[in-house]
Amino acid sequence: MSAAEARRSFLKAGTAAAAGAFAARAVAQESPEHDPLRVPGGPTDPPGGSRPQDEHEVRADYEGFSRYKPSRGHDPDSKWYLGKEVPGFRKGVDGPAPFVAPDVEKLPYTMENGWKVFHLSCTPVSREFLPGHQINVYGFNGSMPGPTIEVTQGDRVRFVVKNDLPEPTSVHWHGFELPVQEDGASHLTQNMIQPGKEYVYQFQVHEEGTFFYHSHVAMQETFGMVGWFIVHPQKPFDPPVDRDFGLIFQNFRIDPMTTVVDSWGMDFNWHTINGRSGPYTTPLVCRHGERVRIRILDFSPVQHHPIHLHGHTFWVTGHEGARVPKTAWIPRNTELIAVAQASNLEFIANNPGDWALHCHMTHHMMNHMVQHVGPRMRGQTDTSRYTANLETRPAVDLNSKALGDVPPGYPQMMQGMKMDPAAMKKVWSRREMRGMRATAPKTISGLFTALRVLPDDLYRLVMETDEPVEKGAVFAEIVRRFGDYDRYDWAPMEMEMGGGMNDAAMGGGATGSVGTGR
């Protein structure tokens, strides 16, 4: 049975018509006056018993772990505990799940006498980190990160690299055990590739797993020169996954009023996932009950990233070195990933909703963090005693009365980088955003994206149809099915363009920031 057939056997009849019914009844705006959408044939546990004929048979329950609702299982030593070895719908014989790095293209190749031949150009790149914010970086083939290289274990690969930069460069194939002359470690192993010149690397790939390629000139790395190099195993990993996502986390220093990366700067203020800053990052979308793998690479100059996933517990199944034996897999919801390291996270998407996936370093959940020029004044502060006599500065009153009702340090305002309606329209233009809460972009900032776990009919509505879907409609339907709708507060549409987390207290306007630094 194919993966598609296996999935269909788990669904109740009528879901094909449900998407159209859902779209037709989508609310005109997020408003508490509207009832949730009543869609027949929504996702439930599959019919039939939970006893498998073999351990690879797809089912709903695995010794207390459910494919369709948050659960842990009865025995921490069980292979099914927290979904550890629970299979997805995809069979191993179907081959690897397509690798998807949102907002990054794949590098094509040609076959020449048994070699997969790829062409890479090292180029200056203008990358749109946020709508309207073009940043000057370095990359490959006009992209930052560079296009994804995807091969199979055992392939013979050849890379024709052209240097279109104004300075010498080399390309390192990070993590590969290859002949030393192919390593690309700049002057240590080769003559540098001069501007306008080409260099050919070739080797046979005996490894499998999560790798990447990058310039081996330090300042060029700081400028963003990196790309995925994914090697699928000859023998499919067990259990196979239904989704295979890749995210590259990077930091940059870009001073105010400039668009050029400061490769010497250490106070990093722009943060990107696959070359986009939240809320311009593209959400990861999967179906309820699927087995998901997310590969995350930290290619920041000096900073580590504690990556936290809301709503799910994942298993760490591999790193940039290799697949980890199952006996050494670790369950976590936050994985600390250091510079030039990658981690593979796998889990069963058994908790429907729009879930935050982000670096937990607080300043990495903002954009363009720079200090203000001039004093930081609170909006309610009376400055008359200062302006009345500009020759003499009044003594500072440090007693508690001076603070009034405002606690020390409040508010930590998210200021600057207001996003106008045109920018927000571009944020909402991605299919993957359809039906999310109208205020979702207020939280998704910097190294922040979302994992969307959608019931099958809602997944098809969002990802496979062109039916109109209003903001908040899909989220509200998930709350109706799986939450407590009577306690659900709809997102006010008038705050769609609002500012940061303190807007409610400080009177955020109609066009605000999206989690920018103070």
- The more confident residue out of 505 and 391 is 391
Note whether 475 and 455 are within 8 A (CB): no
Q: Which two tokens stand for residue 463?
A: 């990802």
**Confidence (pLDDT) at 368:** 61
Q: Note the pLDDT of residue 321.
A: 87
Confidence grade of residue 369 (pLDDT, cut at 50, 70, 90)? low
Structure tokens belonging to residue 23 = 């779209």
Residue-level pLDDT at 256: 78
Residue 397 corresponds to which tokens in the numbers above?
């009153």
Cα 235 to Cα 26, 95, 140, 153, 208: the distances in Å are: 45, 9, 31, 9, 10
Q: Which of 148, 186, 142, 141 is nearest to 168 (CA)?
A: 186
Residue 10 is predicted with a pLDDT of: 38
Q: Which of 36-50, 188-202, 258-272, 300-314 has the lowest mean pLDDT?
A: 36-50
Whole-prediction pTM? 0.83
Long-range contacts of 178-181 (CB under 8 A, 24+ apart): 178/203, 179/203
pLDDT of residue 9: 45
Find the radius of gyration of the CA atoms of the chain: 25
Q: How many helices (H) and strands (E) does the chain have?
A: 9, 23
Angle at 115 between CA 111 and CA 118, to 5 degrees: 70
Q: Are 304 and 298 in contact (CB under 8 A)?
A: yes
Enumerate the β-bridge partners of residue 292: 243, 347
Segment 90-105 shows an average pLDDT of 94
CB 293 within 8 A of CB 344: yes
More confident residue, 409 or 455: 455
Write b or e for each residue in 375-384: b if 16 or more Cβ atoms lie within 10 A of its Cβ, otherwise e: eeeeeeeeee
pLDDT at residue 444 greater than cutoff 80: yes
pLDDT at 365 over 80: no
Residue that wins the pLDDT comparison between 408 and 456:
456
pLDDT score for 390: 74
CA distances from 392 to 89, 358, 377, 389 (A): 75, 48, 19, 6
Higher pLDDT, 258 or 331: 331
